[in-house]
Amino acid sequence: MDSQPGTGSHPIEAPDLPMLCDLMFCSSPLPMVAVAGTQHLVRYVNPAACRLAGKSKDVLIGTPFAELLPDDGCLPILDRVYRTGEAETHTEPEDPGKRTAYWSYAMWTLLGVDECSLGIMIQVTETARFHQQATAMNQELLLSAVRQHEMTQVAEKLNSQLQLEIAERKRMEHALMNSEKLAATARLASTMAHEINNPLGAITNLIFLLAPLQSSPAAQAYIATLDTQVRGLTRIATQMLKFHRDSNRPTEFKLSELLHETSDFYRPQAERRGVVVHQRIETDGTIVGYRSEKTQVIVNLLLNALDATSAGGKIILHLYPAPPWLCKLRGSCGYCIAVADTGRGIDPENYARLFEPFFTTKGDKGTGLGLWLCNGIVDRVGGAIRFWSSRRPNRSGSCFSVFLPAEEASFTPLRRRYERE
């Protein structure tokens, strides 16, 4: 019976039955025969068995074991061992009136690394009463050797699996450390934004007081430029505080404002990369929930789009009421936020793992937690995330669409044309 390969990541191949038997039973003084299959064809015989049968190894291999038996008494036992896998022994009845020897058999299965049967080993003994105890002891020793070999194979397989689990655990620990660093960085950025707001307020007041004192047109222009830059810094610091700060209870807010703030905050970063960010806002999208959670979802999707889009590409943030078919499918009205890019697209073999924790295609730059966290946040409020992707030349890109339920949301058909920005 041929062995079956293991199912682990690094399968351990079971040795060939004749090779395995030759390693253990070649030098045994007792006749040893290995059979396989329902016909119990001989797959292995040791030299002692050849001498007992009076035939060569080449002649015996492939012969049904029944042809070698002096009687048919052990065939039912051999069939039972084949079916159950339990070891058994059989001894022919002794004739008290004769001093001739009689036969005894010990039969047990040889198992591979995956507990599959490789065949049945038969020990044939030409014995008398004073040999019975020695034969039984030899049988136990041989069985122990076989079981030890089987346990060694199982131990090797378990060790291989353990090494894989250790490597996976180390990767998970590394990802958790990265996520903790990101959380600490976010708290530090929030603290810095709060502290920066105080001197920015003072600078704004000083500019207001300084402007009437300057009569020169050039000075007035410089003051206006300075005022614009300071207002930009104030806006950035305020947005950083909004991203981090959240109340301990759900509040009502507009998704349109959230998309404007997120888009404005990351627009300079996109421009430095040569990527254009467009907005298509068709509704205010008023919902009740935790604002920071929805911000986290939009930020993660937008940053993923930025990472996937090269210079000259485009990203679109689209907010619109969910269409009737989707509301019916989800059992609630609501809004959809789509983040589409013209990036490189997603490999089809990664589709099934996109929302798994710690799965990333960004190497050391990613933690593999972004989409997993987004999916958890959206699923917790009864929403859903869908995605489409293409890697066709000149038409590659991805689109992630988030459905968020709402108490009231009226559907408006998509406009065929959008105003150019």
- Which of 127, 143, 165 finishes a domain? 127
Nearest to 337 by CA among 265, 413, 399, 266: 399
**For position 265, which CATH number holds?**
3.30.565.10
Residue with tokens 């150019």: 420
Burial class (CB in 10 A: 0-12, 13-18, 19+), 400: buried
Distance CA 398, CA 162 (A): 37
Q: Are residues 256 and 119 in the same domain?
A: no
Does residue 52 sit within a domain? yes
pLDDT higher for 208 or 284?
A: 284
Q: Is residue 322 part of a domain?
A: yes
Residue 419 near residue 404 (C-beta atoms within 8 A)? no
**Which pLDDT does position 133 carry in this prediction?**
52
Residue 278 domain-assigned?
A: yes
**Backbone phi, psi, residue 351, to 5°:** -55, -45
Rounded Cα distance between 88 and 90, Å, is 7
What DSSP state is assigned to residue 351?
Answer: G
Which helix (H) or strand (E) is 34 found in, with range? strand 32-36
Would residue 356 count as lying in a domain? Answer: yes
| 116 and 263 assigned to the same domain | no
C-alpha closest to that of 402 among 310, 304, 314: 304
List CB contacts of 143: < 8 A, sequence separation 6 or more. Answer: 87, 108
Give the residue carrying structure tokens 């030299």. Answer: 47
The pLDDT assigned to 141 comes to 72
Q: Which of 255, 236, 239, 254 is nearest to 317 (CA)?
A: 255
Burial of 404 (0-12, 13-18, 19+ CB in 10 A): buried
Q: What is the average pLDDT score of the chain?
A: 77
Last residue of a domain, one of 95, 127, 159: 127
Nearest CA to 121 out of 160, 152, 82 is that of: 82
More confident residue, 6 or 364: 364
Q: In Å, what is the CA distance from 177 to each residue of 181, 304, 366?
A: 6, 20, 12
**Separation of alpha carbons 414 and 255, rounded Å:** 18
Give me the mean pLDDT over the 321-329 stretch. Answer: 90
Quick check: 123 and 139 in contact, CB under 8 A? yes
CB-based contacts of 280, cutoff 8 Å, min separation 6: 316, 317, 318, 319, 320, 418
Record the tokens describing residue 161, joined without a space. Answer: 């699996």
Predicted pLDDT at 359:
76
Tokens of 329: 């499918």
Strand partners, 105: 90, 124
Where is the domain boundary, 83, 99, 127? 127
**Tokens matching residue 353:** 């793992």
Q: Is residue 133 part of a domain?
A: no
Structural domain of 101? 17-127
CA distance 266 to 190: 16
Confidence class for position 222, pLDDT limits 50, 70, 90: confident
The pLDDT value given to residue 130:
41
| Residue pair 24/145 in contact by the 8 Å Cβ criterion | yes
Instruction: Enumerate the β-bridge partners of residue 386.
Output: 401
| pLDDT at residue 231 tops 80 | no
Residue 374 lies in a domain: yes
Rounded-to-integer distance, Cα 201 and Cα 192, Å: 14
**Pair (262, 401) in one structural domain:** yes
What CATH number has the domain bearing residue 83?
3.30.450.20
Nearest-10 crossing angle of helices 291-308, 217-244: 110
pLDDT (tens digit per residue) in 77-125: 888 888 888 888 877 665 555 444 456 788 888 877 667 778 888 887 7
The count of domains in the chain is: 2
Is 166 within a domain? no
Task: Examine the pLDDT at 302 and tell me if it is beyond 80.
Answer: yes
Residues 255 and 122 in one domain: no
Does some domain include residue 235? no
Task: Tell me the mean pLDDT in the region 295-300.
Answer: 87
